[in-house]
Copies of this chain bind each other. A is one copy, B any other.
């Protein structure tokens, strides 16, 4: 228990609301003695939530400019599991370099390290530390703190999920085995006729499964039902 981060993790675990996470991110920035600490997530329903030490003007500007579509950190981390040093991302497009220039103008450091985190139902979050320094300093910093940052990112996400999860959380009616079979086959490209053949049942029976699955999932059509079944973890494709 001689780690600097154990007490901080405890603070995180004691957080009661999103405001506490905000305070914690500022605290961590001071602990690590770096420019910025940011936690940012996209929930299953597409809502966004972020807390951290970026200038609020930058955050607003970021959203207004729709930088989510440009930001190489988002684009890069979305496809990977490993934490990423910003230097190693793809900055080849003109838009990406312009974005970074704009970011630095708004107070961001030139160095960054982001940890992607994924939750159930397609939740995606990023935990980022940012600083202004030379490469050597940053390499040492990230190597030294890699593991602790993973734990911190994990704890941030755990809390954020906890706060959100307590809100909705319906009864979660599950799908029957046959409904799961049907959804799975449709998700991998089978037409209704093909899926029926694959399951050795009549096409009409298959329709019954699809319709009941659609009803349970509250979906408008088959595509919607499959999408929901996927994002709610009923099927794995």
Interface residue ranges, A against B (CB under 8 Å)? 2, 9, 42, 44, 46, 69, 78-82, 116, 118-124, 147, 150-151, 154, 157-158, 161, 172, 177, 186-191, 219-224, 226-228, 230-233, 236-237
Contact = CB atoms under 8 A, between A and B. Distances in A.
A33 to B, nearest CB: 21
A237 B187 contact: no
A55 to B, nearest CB: 26
Contact of A237 (B44, B79, B158): B44
A161 B46 CA distance: 27
Given A79-B233, A230-B227, A189 B120 contact: no
Question: Which among A2, A123, A227, A230 has the highest number of chain B CB atoms within 10 Å?
Answer: A227
Contacts of A224: 186-189
B223 A79 contact: no
Given A46-B236, A177-B69, A191-B221, A81 B230 contact: no
26 contacts: A2-B2, A46-B237, A79-B120, A79-B232, A79-B233, A81-B119, A81-B157, A82-B158, A82-B161, A116-B120, A118-B118, A118-B119, A122-B230, A122-B236, A122-B237, A124-B236, A150-B151, A186-B223, A187-B224, A189-B219, A189-B221, A189-B223, A189-B227, A191-B220, A227-B237, A230-B231
Nearest to A81: B119
